[in-house]
Amino acid sequence: MNETILKLDRVTKRFSGHVAVRELSLEVPKGGIFGLLGPNGAGKTTTLRMIMNIIVPDQGKVVLFEGQKSGREYSDRIGFLPEERGLYKKMKVVDHLAFLGETKGMNRKVAIQKAREWLERLGLHDWTAKKVEDLSKGMQQKVQFIGTLLHDPELVILDEPFSGLDPVNSEVMEEVVVEIARSGRTVMFSTHNMEQAEKMCDRVVIIARGVKALDGSLSEVKEGYGKRNIALTFGSGGGGKAARVLQDPSLVSTLNDSGTSAELELAPGASSQRLLRSLVEAGVELLRFEVVNPSLRSIFIAKVGAEAATPVASEARNA
């Protein structure tokens, strides 16, 4: 049977009276890409830090590699990219990566060799001997990414890895993540970018306000929401004309209106054809009308709601 590379069992963490993570349980199977999704302040970073044993849960257990030891003791088998990440500005890129590899138990020569390969692969070959401070922010992020993967870890944990990356660099990193997962490693990343998660993840867990809202494989999660979603794209001016139809509660139960496009969930009892007829009769120019599986984004918003997306205000969190 597929081994569980990571298991959280009713993990709880409090900070100065505010509960950041409440009784969170999840299992990450070996191999594949696992998404930890949630709005800002949901407790994703706290959860990841508890996995790494950088902070200690108040209650509950973290089990890694089905073993007894804590995150840092397994650190040689795990690659961790924290949300707030930095680099030594004055070090040369290749020296810095070699150092990071050594902190994971790599032999220095091997680390240097691998670092060079990675830098070549991500297009940073010319910057190998330059100081970190000479690189642009995007390049530095790539270096951080390499640092996480250098020691070829079995489990890769990335906290908001794509934040701040331009589309091209983002694409490059995505390719790397997919390739790693395909070769049998496990990747777990946290994000609030639903489109990306939808593209890449095999399994997802959605948390909000420290509590788990959804858990399962991507297909399970989507099927759970049924085939009652319609994706629309309007022609010019269509959005305005369609508004009244879309506000009709007998037709539409949830609407995600983005101006020129919209995604909605049909109200119980309504049929997609009746909606289509109402729109056409209202004179709406439609470029797309499709019965779809709900997008992760709409599931998220529906499940978590605009309210739950805002964390409860509390005293300043520690770290």
Mark residues 107-136: x for contact with another protein by CB under 8 A, - for none: -x----------------------------
Among 68, 90, 167, 236, binds another protein (CB under 8 A): 90
Q: Kindly state the helix (H) or strand (E) to which residue 220 belongs, with its residue range.
A: helix 218-223
User: What phi, psi does 172 have (nearest 5°)?
Assistant: -60, -45
Q: Quick check: 72 binds another protein (CB under 8 A)?
A: yes
Q: Quick check: 100 binds another protein (CB under 8 A)?
A: yes
Comparing CB distances to another protein, the nearer of 137 and 274 is 137
Q: Which three-class secondary structure state does DSSP give residue 282?
A: coil
- From the CB of 92, what's the least distance to another protein, in Å? 9
User: Residue holding tokens 């401070």?
Assistant: 133
Which residues 6+ apart lie within 8 Å of 253 measured at CB? 264, 265, 266, 267, 268
Return the residues of window 3-62 that contact another protein according to CB under 8 A: 52, 54-55
User: Residue holding tokens 């902190």?
Assistant: 103
- From the CB of 130, what's the least distance to another protein, in Å? 14
Q: Quick check: 318 binds another protein (CB under 8 A)?
A: yes
- From the CB of 172, what's the least distance to another protein, in Å? 21
Which residues 6+ apart lie within 8 Å of 215 measured at CB? 26, 204, 205, 206
Strand order in the sheet with 252-257: 252-257, 261-266, 229-234, 286-292
List contacts with another protein (CB under 8 A): 52, 54-55, 71-72, 75-76, 78, 80-82, 84-91, 95, 99-100, 102-105, 108, 144, 147, 316, 318-319
